[in-house]
Chains A and B, each alone.
Chain A
Amino acid sequence: MDLALIPNGVQRCSLKTFTSWAVLWIVLIVWGLVSAFLVFWKGLNQTNMNHYFAFGLWIVFDLSLIALGAGAFFTGFLTHIIGGIFLYPFRDNLRAVVNAAVVIGFICYSAAIAMLGVDIGQPIRGWFIFWHANVHSMLTEVSFCITAYLGVLTIEYLPLILSNRKLKQVPEFNIFGNTLHHIVALFAAVGTFLSFFHQGSLGGMFGVLFGRPFAFREGFFIWPWTFFLFIHSSIAAGPAFTLLCIWVAQKATGKQLVTRDTFTLLAKISGWLLATYMIAKIADTIGWAYGVVPRAGLSFMDFFQAPYGVWLIIAEIGIFGIIPAIILITPKYRERENLLVIGALMNVIGIVLNRFIVTIQTLAIPVMPFDRFMTYFPTWQEWGIAFGSIGYGILIFSLSYRYLPMFPQEPELNPVEVLGTVVTDSGAIKRS
């Protein structure tokens, strides 16, 4: 039924199989929509957040999604800005993943913004951030930059959408898509600029909280160290997440979508960035433990109480930081596919754990000596919105894969043969 929409030179599963796959994720989206409706109707009492946990699961998800979506700007930066000169031998590898990175970025940012819309107590007043903007607030910078960057991502996504076989037949779309494609470097540059600041500001949001010694950091000029750590960690996790998504897509479709050396390149980039991030993170932790902490009259272990014990920081830095960094920077490890994937997955988990610790641990710790250490567990509505965003992401990625030429290497790596002849216009050929 949808064969005319399938890109040239590739094969896709039947619409029936695809629909069954999509239904899985639509169920999650419906769960998310029901939860969002309840929150809009009844208020944030539908969550388990309270005066102590002013932020909860959604902020952890937001921070994580934005960090993982950094693959979009960073791959764009590598491909379009410095790829032509410094990474010339790897240009084809980067071009093979840049579309997927843009789609993943679009998904992450749109989901994060939607989630923020549910998370604020007065969603109708969301525009007040722009109208009554407080230039001193890191959250203002985050809001401006992620909104603008979602626009940039949409512009970067558009040429891919317009290269759908049917849409391409409309001359205006074709010309518009091509024009956007030719100036994509400009948007990659704008995206890099915006991303640099909002990734940083998300870290800065917590680093400036001088009333919360767990989060507070000194820094450079107006930017606390967490500003730079968040940028660094996001560009370490972004390519790893892109790698993981493509690997999962390969497993789900049973096809090779990019060459093996593309995975190696992403792992190498991600690994070295993670390794350098780990050095910076350890230095920051030591600096904090010997600076901010004693100045506040506290000791390191005061911040780690059950269930948020010291195991969290060991897991973040040791298990999900140093180990994946070693795996990904060591050629003989990253050449083994299972280790490569484990390394990328651990990298991603480590960064998500970091965002969890920065958000939840900061709020859980009592600052007043006579206050209580609090714990928090989300309600089904909070999980619903979180899982709904995952369902939305997988659905958009699947639709993009099915109907758009997302992976330029795919036709070459998976030649379609009809009666012994390779055909390039095989969109109408149903996969057996």
Chain B
Amino acid sequence: MKSKDNATGTRYGMVVDLDKCIGCGVCVVACSSENNVSVLYDESDKTRNISWLKIYRITNGKGFPETEAVYLPRPCMQCDNPPCVPVCPATATRQDPNTGTVSQIYTRCIGCRYCMAACPYHARDFNWYDPSFPNGMDRYLSPEVSPRMRGVVEKCTFCHHRLMRAKAKAYAEGRRDIAQDEYIPACVEACPTKAITFGDLNNPKHEVSALIKSPYSFRLLERLGTEPKVYYLSTKDWVRRMADNYLEGEFIDRP
């Protein structure tokens, strides 16, 4: 069990280096195919399509030639203090005390969408339509992840089934610990520029535990107190500034 201050125990988290991200979208495709994410008839409807990992394109708002843009992949922030968990009336979403990961129990979700209203990151998607997998896509469905039915909320689980797989392997080999590279989500594995690093934030042997101490690391909307476990890295001050809301003079650039 992790302690209340999250100082001990396993806390899986992610660090996304925005200086390395090229916005190719491979992580999104990998996530969707890994997790049996269904396809809308009109996928251009970005207010209703299912996408556990969404890429935002953010710019510095300046004109040519000073224009700069970065791509910000946004999975579920897997908050240590998740706003979505306590609000669910049917206990259909929970935070695993052993990993810190927030999961959704699809067969218990009643589809009230209160959790979506609670999440400031829009990390939760509702199935407005019956799930569909056109043109033979159903033959590529993963048996490890249950597809979701219409009328329920779904979200990123940090590819929890991969953790189960790694645990089973470790158990078979008589081990208790899982090495850093034994459990990584599909998006991390697929990233061609190695912009995403994954691991236990509390484990000094895992790279993420060092990366989050970088002066260039930040999290989205930290001031709200959600305590996200997804960190970002960027050497650009304007990018770090865009990650949260600041009043005039509050944000101080790094030297």
Contact = CB atoms under 8 A, between A and B. Distances in A.
A140 B152 CA distance: 18
Given A205-B114, A296-B224, 5 more contacts: A55-B117, A119-B112, A132-B108, A136-B86, A137-B86
Contact of A297 (B88, B124, B250): B250
Contacts of B117: 54-55, 209, 212, 362-363
A299 B111 CA distance: 33
B221 interface: yes
B47 A128 contact: no
Given A125-B108, A368-B121, A43 B89 contact: no
Contacts of A209: 83, 87, 117-118
Interface of A: 43-45, 49-52, 54-55, 119-122, 125-126, 128-129, 131-134, 136-140, 143, 205, 208-213, 294-299, 302, 362-363, 367-371, 374
Contacts of B72: 370
21 contacts: A43-B128, A43-B130, A44-B126, A52-B47, A54-B126, A55-B117, A121-B126, A122-B152, A125-B111, A126-B110, A128-B110, A129-B110, A134-B90, A139-B87, A139-B114, A212-B120, A297-B250, A302-B245, A367-B221, A368-B121, A370-B72
Categorize the interface residue count of chain B: 35 or more
Nearest to A144: B89
Contact of A367 (B89, B92, B120, B129): B120
A50 B116 CA distance: 10
B129 A43 contact: yes
A115 to B, nearest CB: 13
Contacts of B86: 134, 136-137, 208
B172 interface: no
B151 A54 contact: no
A49 B243 CA distance: 27
B226 A370 contact: no
A415 B114 CA distance: 53
B102 to A, nearest CB: 13
A418 B221 CA distance: 76
Contacts of B223: 295-297
Contact of B118 (A125, A134, A211): A211
B152 A121 contact: yes
B129 to A, nearest CB: 5
A53 to B, nearest CB: 8
B109 interface: yes
B122 A371 contact: yes
Given A121-B111, A211-B83, A370-B242, A132 B120 contact: no
B185 to A, nearest CB: 21
Given A43-B130, A51-B126, A367-B120, A213 B224 contact: yes
B152 A51 contact: no
A367 B130 CA distance: 29
Interface string B119-136: 111101111111000000
Interface in B133-154: 149-153
A140 B112 CA distance: 11
A212 B118 contact: yes
Contact of B151 (A43, A136, A210, A298): A43
Contacts of B246: 297
A45 B48 contact: yes
Contacts of A44: 111, 126, 128, 151
A138 B83 CA distance: 13
Contacts of B116: 51, 54
Q: Which 5 pairs, one residue from A and one from B, show the smallest C-beta to C-beta distance? A: A121-B111, A121-B151, A297-B245, A50-B47, A54-B113
A132 B112 CA distance: 14
Given A43-B151, A55-B113, A296-B223, A129 B128 contact: no
Interface string B179-217: 000000000000000000000000000000000000000
B24 interface: no
B244 interface: yes
